[in-house]
């Protein structure tokens, strides 16, 4: 009888408090990739010293 009372209390108390129980969640932002087509700002390593860029 005592176990039944404990189980009922555990089940009824959250419903009486009007709380919302949520699990863990993860929010992700989309990745933005900016591609510069033909901008010419990238110079391979060592080429700037040779004057090729």
Q: Which residue has the higher pLDDT, 8 or 53?
A: 8
**Is residue 7 over pLDDT 80?**
yes
pLDDT at site 10: 83
If phi > 0 it is left, if psi is from -120 to 50 it is alpha, else beta; for residue 30 that is: beta
pLDDT at site 11: 81
Phi and psi (nearest 5°) for 2?
Answer: -70, -40
The set of residues, in sequence order, having a beta carbon less than 8 Å from that of 43 and lying 6+ positions away, is 52, 53
Cβ atoms 6, 12 nearer than 8 A: no
pLDDT tens-digit map of 9-53: 888 877 776 667 788 989 999 988 776 665 567 778 887 788 877
């Amino acid at each position: 009888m005592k176990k039944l009372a404990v189980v009922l209390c555990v089940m009824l108390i959250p419903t009486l408090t009007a709380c919302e129980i949520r699990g863990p969640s993860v929010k992700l932002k989309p990745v933005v990739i900016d591609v510069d087509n033909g901008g010419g700002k990238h110079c391979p390593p060592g080429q700037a010293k040779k004057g090729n860029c």
